[in-house]
Structures are given as structure tokens and as C-alpha cells.
Amino acid sequence: MPILESTYPGPPAFLFNGHLETIVPSLYRRVKGINYQREKISTLDGDFLNLDWSKVGSHKLLIISHGLEGDSERHYARGLVKLFNQNGIDALVWNNRTCGGEINDLPILYHHGASYDLDTTVQHVIKEYNYTEIYLSGISMGGAQTLKYLGEKGQSLPKQIKKSAVYSTPCNLPSSAATLKLKSNIFYKKRFLGKLKKKIEAKAQQYPELIDLKLLEKVKDFDEFDTLFTAKIHGFKDASDFYQTVSADNWMSEITIPTLILNAKNDPLLGPECYPIELAEKKSEIILEMPERGGHTGFALKGNEFTWAEYRLLEFLTYKF
């Protein structure tokens, strides 16, 4: 599939670089008018997931996977929910373990490769509901989880899932992780690490024999955090092994449905390998769109409640071709 030229006109003038395009919506954007109905489901390993629904009585459903340290209340999730609801489509945001306001029961948390929980969500939806068309969407980490899931399923993907679309997605996790070492990205590193450290503290209360909080005091960057905690808790050797093993691009060549990957060229959290140009050029199912602007989960439009990325996902997922 040829790489698409983007139609994004760019953000309001005051968002004059990729960092502002990223940070301002994250801190200040609000999407009102969403009233979720929560459903708690069990996982095969004896844990639980919280699913937040917003239904309009449709036979079509959008499943949304959120980003790192996000949940169903993040602006990008609520924006998609509201826009798709307005266009007659039900929406479901599944909250990763420890996200959505409730700490899960098992020692594990969540990570970029936790496609098994997306699979649990999809299987529950198919078993308990009668949707004839399901679309998958993911933002940032949720996009990586979605791409990994699609590739893992390959030809065995449930027939109800017709299309997928992700944006601001770290297709190559080692490349994205490396951006958090840049001095220009210290804001994101501190913000994410601060939130993740609180999750580890909560886990230590549940499992004091497994987690040494003295080590947490020594953590200064993501390599240390992921080696000492993420890798150890989830069964990887170290941060490098974790990044390489779960990276979505290990599976993306096996995707079998039309899938839009929308990554801005000025995204401060995506390295060069997060733009799968060669794969998109040779694989018809992968549609790659790389706007010059947009930042990370930004894509603001002047005077508009919704972002350009949200409109673009609606257009792609509902367009018949």
C-alpha cells in the first residue's frame, strides 16, 4: 500500500512545536458528556479487567486501547468515544491492569506487550454481545498492544474484527524507549516514572516479599525501572530483553486486516524505527500516514472539540472499500 500523504492542516499557531502539541492537550484538554458503564471481567490467570462502555444501541463497536499510565478517562479515549457515539457506533475502553482507578490482584502490572489482555477483552465481547462489526483502535502504548495482537492472531483473527487504526504508536519499542533518554524529553520521563513508581509502591503493599522498595529509590531512568521492576515482575531478563521481546514490529508483518498507522514526524516519543515505511510499501494491509505535525497524541484543530486524528480514525474505520 502506498504511503499516504496527510491532510492534517496543522495545530493552532500557539502550539508551535512537537512538545507543545503533546503537552498542552495532555494537561488541559477536556472532553465532556461521556457517562461510562463499567463491567468487570475475569482473566484466565485469575485476575480482572475493568471495561468502560458507552453504548448507543449499535451493532458496530469500537474497542479502544489506551496509552502508558492512561485509562478510559484520558482525553484521547474520551474523544474517540464521543465522536464514534455521535456517529452511531458503540465504544468500549478497556483499562490495563492497575489502570482505571483499581489495582489488580496479581503481582504483574501491564506493559506494551500485554496483548493477552486485549485478547481477553475481545473474546469476552464476542461471547457476550452480538456485534457484527468490531474495529480496534489504540493510542501510543495501546497502539502497540493492538498491532501486536493483530499480528499474533494473523489468519485466526475473529471474523467480526474488520479494521484497525492506531496513532502515536511505538511500533519499535527499543527505538521509542531510547527517546526517553534525551534531555529534551525529561518532562515525559519524570511524569511517566513518577506515576509508575506509585504503582510499584502499591504492588509492594500487596506483595512485600516480591518487591524491594529500596531499589525504587535508586531508579533514575526507564532502563533501570524496567530492568529492576518491569522485567523482573513479568519474566524478562532485563530492560533490553523486554523491549526487544514485546516490540510490536516482531508481529506486524502477519496482520491480515486493513490497519492505519498514523504517526506524526515531529512526535517527540517516537524514534526512526517507529515509522514502518518498508513494511507499508510491501504489505497491502498496512496503511502508513506520517503528518509533518501532530506531536504525541496531539493533532489539535483550531476551534474544534475533536482532534484531527480522531476524525481520521472515524473516516478510515467506517469508510467502505
Taking the C-alpha atoms of residue 96 and residue 91, their distance in angstroms, rounded to an integer, is 16
In a domain, 178, yes or no: no
In the chain, how many H helices and how many E strands? Answer: 12, 8
Can you tell me the mean pLDDT for 143-168?
A: 98
In a domain, 129, yes or no: yes
User: Residue 33's domain is classified under what CATH number?
Assistant: 3.40.50.1820
pTM of the model: 0.96
Q: Is the pLDDT of residue 321 over 70?
A: no
Domain that holds residue 154: 18-172+247-318
In a domain, 24, yes or no: yes
Average pLDDT, the chain: 96
In a domain, 80, yes or no: yes
In a domain, 58, yes or no: yes
| pLDDT cut 70: percent of the chain above it | 99
In a domain, 311, yes or no: yes
Q: Is the pLDDT of residue 309 over 90?
A: yes
How many other CB atoms are found less than 10 A from the CB of residue 143?
29
Total domains, the chain: 1
Closest CA relative to residue 38, chosen from 25, 49, 22, 47: 49
Can you tell me the mean pLDDT for 39-51?
A: 98
In a domain, 43, yes or no: yes
Q: Is the pLDDT of residue 1 over 70?
A: no
In a domain, 183, yes or no: no
pLDDT at 218: 87
Please enumerate, as own/partner, the contacts of 217-226 that have beta carbons within 8 Å and a separation of 24 or more: 219/193, 221/180, 221/181, 221/189, 221/193, 222/177, 222/180, 222/181, 222/189, 222/192, 222/193, 223/177, 223/181, 225/193, 225/196, 225/197, 226/177
